[in-house]
Chain A
Amino acid sequence: MDRFARLLTDLIYTRARNGKLALLADYLRTVPDPDRGWALAALTGGIDFPAIKAGTVRALIQERVDPVLFALSRDFVGDTAETVSLMWPAPPGPVRGAPGVSEAVALLASASRGTAKAVLAGLLDRLDEDGRFALLKLATGALRIGVSARLAKTAFAQAFGVALDEVEELWHAMRPPYAELFAWATGAAAKPDISAVPVFRPFMLANPLEDEAIDLRDYAAEWKWDGIRIQIVSVGGAARLFSRGGEDITASFPEIAEAFDHEGVLDGELLVRGTHQGGEAASFNALQQRLGRKSVSGRLQADYPAFVRLYDVLLDGGEDLRRLPWTERRARLEALAPRLDRSAFDISALIEAETFEALAELRAQARESDIEGVMLKRRDSAYEPGRKAGLWFKWKREPLTADCVLMYAQRGSGKRSSLYSDYTFGCWTAPEAKGGVLLPVGKAYSGFSDEELKWLDSFVRKQTTGRFGPVREVDKTLVLEVAFDAVNPSTRHKSGIAMRFPRISRIRRDKPASEADLIDTLRRMIAAGAKAGSASKT
């Protein structure tokens, strides 16, 4: 546990991503099995002890220390695990040495609701402060130490010099403490065979099109549908749905999984039926009603009918097609798509355009049709996981812009920790002369050059009018031209709107704050289809 505790402590105090990666990789390389596997499971959220809840810890500590002193301390610290680790009283008698991660996992897993407190207490007695903190984080499953599952897997790949794509692909077929995965990565065993397991394969992703010259003889064009990328995996009868990050979202869309009766792995966009997006699908907003649910009612399924627009085929039956060029995969997809349930699946049509200029013209109309943009796929490209240069491009419609006023700023993280680089900006509720006030409409931390960042940082420092914890309020004098992809209605913000992908496009030192845009101007940018609450009404 000592080593794991030290890892967590070091990770908490290390801001740079590379620093975190180095710490994780060193741990994974040097700690023996199965401890490192359990640690990896804890870091990727792959561990759960059903008998141990946050309430178990709270009940236990109140038996050991004065509840009033605990409550006062908890209020000050703000985190139960940390509070308990700091004030856990030393045991009266001698105790056994600190448990290893595996021993702790075994004991926690064996606990029942009746024995949970005793098991936890026995372990806490054997640990020092850092150890207690690590144990409680491990036991309750909520690490919250700024390490994502993706970062942990990246560190694993770096530690053993294996490809992250391969790790991702194997990951979903492995169970903690991942003995097979470590055996393969360290060269002690062959790569595990997962052909019979329904697992997620890493997606092929697109780069934004900058100034590249595109010849449509080399690239095929499709519309860029605004839903969520989804992978449908079916092995041995049961289909599962995975999101971009490899999260299993089958439970949110049971009707799609049920409708899929084809062995293989397909790539597509999950959408909700509607008349937005060129009349072919509802807005992303409508789809959001269906996301993140552990179960879904028939009513919700009827109000927001989901379907998948297919982009690609990775596996057909047992045959891996990923090394084939796009044209051949497309032919296979076109051959198999008609055999699928039409209510749940269709194919993403190709855009007919003779020349790049003709395509550019079609793209120029994208905003009117509420389509996010155009995708360009190299006809001879294999299905490469990740974002490989030159193969797939997304060519989004021109962004919208608005002139906003800088209101608040916060420090960034990592390299930007000494710079005020996160900006909250607002627009007017009415013209200032008519008594309008500024309300925040968005937050951005990109789009500016290093030079501009330095200038903005110094502006914030010089123009600070108030401080709220880490947030600085500034004199409302600076106009920022903000670019964004869309405006959606939002009940979460006082202004009633939310920008999609906002970034700072220009600093408008020439423009007085009173001439910044009105919130009403932004509200008019809300796409027609996004206004209605329900897709079925659009």
Chain B
Amino acid sequence: MPIGPETPRWIKAEREGLHLPTIGWWIDPSRAVTNALVTHGHADHARGGHGEVWATAATRDIIDLRYGTPAGGGDVAYGECIEIGDSITATFLPAGHVLGSAQILLERQGERIIVTGDYKRRADPTCPPFVPTPCDILITEATFALPIFTHPPIEREIARLLAAREANPERTVLVGAYALGKAQRVIAELRRAGYAETIWLHGAMTAMCALYERHGVTLGPLAPVSETPRGELKGQIVICPPSALNSVWARKMPDQINAVASGWMRVRQRAVQSNVELPLIISDHCDWNELTATILEVAPQETWITHGREDALLHWCAMRQIRARALELVGREDEDEAA
């Protein structure tokens, strides 16, 4: 029998997302709902078809780009607090994950719950840093929640990318990176490292890069691959979705070097299996040490763990007498406690 406060009755974890039953609102729901608070624009958090979407301006723009304009709702600035009914307020705080990403602080009658969405603790030139905020319940992600995941400094990985390009003037470095967030971060970090040449984009990247630019993230000279004779791509850096690396599209490149920018690249077997020659360990999520440090720093009374390797994090919490639960199991645990 866990010791601690009763779980507030105004929030429930459902299979489709976090639910505020007293007002019928949802956070990052996986199906279309009437009222949604959305932490950020990645497809597993933001879906199309909601009635009202409340999110940061950048996230709403991303939803607009991907699914069409939401019917209603509005932009919420970082630090802004909105009242959503039943005395519940929602405050959007930077999560440091991608452009527009936010943690959502839910408050009701002195109870404070933070939904982190996805987040990281490293500096990122494309979005403001995560703000650790005291709360009663921390609902954290656990994507890289295994102690094998410790992300190296991004400067080291960018230097490896530039060195590979330098050493292979006859080849094209294809960097597989998610179209939202990772791609722009890699580009911005290349610029920060002094790389001023044109960076070439797969067609799936161009619109999102333009959106970033509109939101004030400068990415330097970019050009689409499609309009370029392939011979001119020798010695160049091309950014594409990871799925394009082993596609017919990639086969037309002049002798490509397959790179992938992802936290998963930490594991050699994974990288080799996906045909990667240059694994770049670049993640927009916390690594193991950052996840555990965040739990200790925020020091909530209870930690809920969503999508990822919750087993390891639950075990880590248990060893430290930190109250924690994996979200999928919330319903069942309640029944056990009642019994």
Given contacts A65-B147, A68-B315, contact A77 B272 (CB under 8 A): no
* A184 interface residue (CB < 8 Å to B): no
* A32 interface residue (CB < 8 Å to B): no
Closest to B312 in A: A72
Closest to B150 in A: A86
- Interface membership of chain B positions 305-317, coded 1 if the CB is closer than 8 angstroms to chain A and 0 otherwise: 0000101100110
Closest to B266 in A: A86
Residues of chain B contacted by A15 (CB below 8 angstroms): 275, 277
CB pair A73–B278 under 8 Å, yes or no, is no
Which B residues from 134 to 190 make CB contacts under 8 A with A?
Answer: 146-148, 150
Closest to B247 in A: A418
CB pair A13–B267 under 8 Å, yes or no, is no
* A66 interface residue (CB < 8 Å to B): yes
Residues of chain B contacted by A69 (CB below 8 angstroms): 146-147, 312, 315-316
Residues of chain A contacted by B309 (CB below 8 angstroms): 72, 76
Residues of chain A contacted by B108 (CB below 8 angstroms): none
* A79 interface residue (CB < 8 Å to B): yes
Residues of chain A contacted by B251 (CB below 8 angstroms): 418
CB pair A72–B319 under 8 Å, yes or no, is no
**Interface residue from B148, B246, B269, B316 paired with A411 (Cβ < 8 Å):** B246
Choose among A14, A69, A458 the residue with the greatest number of B CB atoms under 10 Å from its CB.
A69
* A12 interface residue (CB < 8 Å to B): yes
CB pair B311–A77 under 8 Å, yes or no, is no
CB pair B148–A76 under 8 Å, yes or no, is yes
CB pair A87–B148 under 8 Å, yes or no, is yes
Give Cα A9 to B266, complex, Å.
12
A residues contacting the other copy or chain, number (CB 8 A): 27
Given contacts A73-B146, A76-B309, contact A14 B267 (CB under 8 A): no
**Interface residue from B269, B275, B276, B278 paired with A77 (Cβ < 8 Å):** B269
* A417 interface residue (CB < 8 Å to B): yes
- Interface membership of chain A positions 396-431, coded 1 if the CB is closer than 8 angstroms to chain B and 0 otherwise: 000000000000000100000110000000000000
CB pair B246–A14 under 8 Å, yes or no, is no
Given contacts A69-B312, A411-B246, A411-B275, contact A82 B268 (CB under 8 A): yes
Give Cα A66 to B318, complex, Å.
12
Give Cα A458 to B147, complex, Å.
41
CB pair B275–A417 under 8 Å, yes or no, is yes
Given contacts A15-B277, A69-B147, A73-B148, contact A78 B269 (CB under 8 A): yes
- Interface membership of chain B positions 207-249, coded 1 if the CB is closer than 8 angstroms to chain A and 0 otherwise: 0000000000000000000000000000000000000001110
CB pair A13–B278 under 8 Å, yes or no, is yes
* B109 interface residue (CB < 8 Å to A): no
CB pair B267–A82 under 8 Å, yes or no, is yes
CB pair A12–B312 under 8 Å, yes or no, is no
* B279 interface residue (CB < 8 Å to A): yes
Given contacts A13-B276, A13-B278, A72-B309, contact A82 B147 (CB under 8 A): no
* A470 interface residue (CB < 8 Å to B): yes
Given contacts A78-B269, A87-B147, contact A66 B279 (CB under 8 A): no
Q: How far is the CB of B307 from chain A (nearest CB, A)?
A: 15
Q: How far is the CB of B32 from chain A (nearest CB, A)?
A: 28
Which B residues from 255 to 294 make CB contacts under 8 A with A?
Answer: 266-269, 271-273, 275-279
Residues of chain A contacted by B33 (CB below 8 angstroms): none
**Interface residue from A12, A72, A79 paired with B311 (Cβ < 8 Å):** A72
Give Cα A363 to B268, complex, Å.
51
Give Cα A246 to B311, complex, Å.
49
- Interface membership of chain A positions 57-92, coded 1 if the CB is closer than 8 angstroms to chain B and 0 otherwise: 000000001101100110011110011001100000
Q: How far is the CB of A185 from chain B (nearest CB, A)?
A: 27
Residues of chain B contacted by A73 (CB below 8 angstroms): 146-148, 312
**Interface residue from A65, A72, A79, A470 paired with B269 (Cβ < 8 Å):** A79
Residues of chain A contacted by B278 (CB below 8 angstroms): 13
Which B residues from 305 to 339 make CB contacts under 8 A with A?
Answer: 309, 311-312, 315-316, 319
Give Cα A71 to B148, complex, Å.
11
Residues of chain A contacted by B88 (CB below 8 angstroms): none
Closest to A19 in B: B277
Give Cα A425 to B68, complex, Å.
45
**Interface residue from A66, A68, A86 paired with B148 (Cβ < 8 Å):** A86
Residues of chain B contacted by A13 (CB below 8 angstroms): 271-272, 276-279
Closest to B277 in A: A13
Give Cα A320 to B273, complex, Å.
48
Give Cα A15 to B150, complex, Å.
26
Q: How far is the CB of B160 from chain A (nearest CB, A)?
A: 11
* B250 interface residue (CB < 8 Å to A): yes
Residues of chain A contacted by B273 (CB below 8 angstroms): 469-470
Choose among B147, B266, B316 the residue with the greatest number of A CB atoms under 10 Å from its CB.
B147
Residues of chain A contacted by B271 (CB below 8 angstroms): 13
Residues of chain B contacted by A68 (CB below 8 angstroms): 312, 315
CB pair A77–B246 under 8 Å, yes or no, is no
Residues of chain B contacted by A78 (CB below 8 angstroms): 269
Residues of chain B contacted by A133 (CB below 8 angstroms): 268
Residues of chain A contacted by B277 (CB below 8 angstroms): 13-15
CB pair A76–B146 under 8 Å, yes or no, is yes
Closest to A469 in B: B273
Residues of chain A contacted by B316 (CB below 8 angstroms): 66, 69
Give Cα A73 to B150, complex, Å.
13
Give Cα A14 to B268, complex, Å.
12
Choose among A13, A65, A83 the residue with the greatest number of B CB atoms under 10 Å from its CB.
A13
Residues of chain A contacted by B148 (CB below 8 angstroms): 73, 76-77, 83, 86-87
Q: How far is the CB of B295 from chain A (nearest CB, A)?
A: 15
Closest to B316 in A: A69
Give Cα A78 to B148, complex, Å.
12
Q: How far is the CB of B309 from chain A (nearest CB, A)?
A: 7
**Interface residue from B247, B250, B269, B311 paired with A82 (Cβ < 8 Å):** B269
Residues of chain A contacted by B250 (CB below 8 angstroms): 418
Closest to B250 in A: A418
Closest to B258 in A: A417
Give Cα A68 to B316, complex, Å.
9
Residues of chain A contacted by B150 (CB below 8 angstroms): 86
Give Cα A469 to B269, complex, Å.
13
Give Cα A133 to B266, complex, Å.
13
Give Cα A417 to B251, complex, Å.
10
Give Cα A339 to B147, complex, Å.
68
Residues of chain B contacted by A458 (CB below 8 angstroms): 248
Give Cα A335 to B158, complex, Å.
70
Given contacts A68-B315, A417-B275, contact A12 B268 (CB under 8 A): yes
Q: How far is the CB of B208 from chain A (nearest CB, A)?
A: 25
Choose among A9, A73, A82, A458 the residue with the greatest number of B CB atoms under 10 Å from its CB.
A73
Which A residues from 18 to 76 make CB contacts under 8 A with B?
Answer: 65-66, 68-69, 72-73, 76
Q: How far is the CB of B7 from chain A (nearest CB, A)?
A: 26
Q: How far is the CB of A217 from chain B (nearest CB, A)?
A: 50
Closest to A74 in B: B148
Q: How far is the CB of B146 from chain A (nearest CB, A)?
A: 5
Task: Pick 8 A–B contacts, CB within 8 A, sort by A.
Answer: A13-B279, A68-B315, A77-B148, A82-B268, A86-B150, A86-B266, A86-B267, A418-B246
Known: A12-B268, A76-B267, A418-B250. 8 other contacts (CB 8 A): A65-B147, A68-B312, A69-B315, A72-B311, A78-B269, A86-B148, A417-B275, A418-B248
Report, nearest first, the 4 A-B pairs whose CB atoms are least far apart: A86-B148, A87-B147, A73-B148, A72-B312
